[in-house]
Amino acid sequence: MQPVYLFPPETVRFQPENPCEPLDLAALFPGRQGAPLEVDLGCGDGSFLLAIAARAPEHNFLGVERLLGRVRRTSRGAATLGLTNVRVIRLESHYVVRYLLPGGSASVLHVMFPDPWPKRRHHHRRLIQPAFLDAAAQALRPGGELRLTTDDLPYFKHMRAVFNAHPAFVEQPWEPGPEYPQTDFERQFRAQGLPIHRALLRTPALPPRRD
């Protein structure tokens, strides 16, 4: 049986004409200017992105994924569900955060189960590094959040060392409720009885005005 799309999946996929210029969010989400933007960095099969976008239709959601098959699958899922608040871009996560997200544009950056690159000689490839946090702090609005989830304890300890040394973020207590969707990885790891490690980092809010 052919899937029934409520709009063409191609409208969900987005590739910038000039990958060196910040995204025009008004053109990316026409008619939805002013809606809070959440970004799923490394959206995988799209299950988390589509679930959270369906639960928060008043927000815009941008998925970032470098594998074409996953981008296509996520786009088809959004078109099947009629999620007009979803776009997917095929690029590396760090590149999108550093060069394409306008300053102060994102309310939440989700980093769900990033590749832990466990071998020491590959640690420099890990997403969570000081340069990424610099870019994330620039992309997030005041009071914005960076939410991190991993099953890999050594990588989580590395994350903690990185963001504890960064001046732009403050860690907040975070235990998401049942309304926070699980990724395909999380479902697999929980089925195996593996612990899940989480962190929520917040940028400082703007100071109160003095009239």
End-to-end CA distance of the chain: 63
pTM, to two decimals:
0.94
Determine the pLDDT at residue 184.
84
Each residue's pLDDT tens digit, 89-103: 999 999 999 999 999
Angle formed by the axes of helices 47-55 and 68-81, to 10°?
A: 30
C-alpha count within 13 angstroms, C-beta hemisphere, residue 3: 14
Taking only the tens place, the pLDDT of each residue in 162-188 is 999 999 999 998 988 888 998 888 888
For residue 81, give the H/E element and its range. helix 68-81
Considering only residues 26 and 193, tell me which one the structure prediction assigns the higher pLDDT.
26
Evaluate if residue 211 carries a pLDDT over 90. Answer: no
Residues 6+ apart with CB under 8 A from 28: 14, 62, 87
* CA pair distance 172, 203, nearest whole angstrom: 10
Q: Is the pLDDT of residue 109 over 90?
A: yes
Tell me the C-alpha distance between 139 and 109, whole Å.
9
Q: In CATH, which of 1.10.3720.10, 3.40.50.1450, 2.40.50.140, 3.40.50.150 is domain 9-23+31-202?
A: 3.40.50.150
Write down the catalytic residue from 24, 40, 115, 151. 115
Count of residues for the chain?
211
Task: Show me where the domains of the chain are located.
Answer: 9-23+31-202
Nearest of 152, 168, 176 to residue 202 by alpha carbon: 168
**Residue 61 pairs with which residues in a beta bridge?**
38, 86
pLDDT above 70 (res 34) = yes
Q: 184 an active-site residue?
A: no
Would the pLDDT of 140 be above 90? yes
The C-alpha atoms of residue 13 and residue 191 are separated, in whole angstroms, by 32
DSSP type of residue 9: G
Confidence of residue 206 (pLDDT cuts 50, 70, 90): low
| pLDDT exceeds cutoff 80 at 155 | yes
> What does the pLDDT average to over 131-157?
96
Euclidean distance between CA atoms 95 and 134, whole angstroms? 12
User: Is 13:84 a contact under the CB 8 Å cutoff?
Assistant: no
> pLDDT-based confidence at 68, cuts 50/70/90?
very high
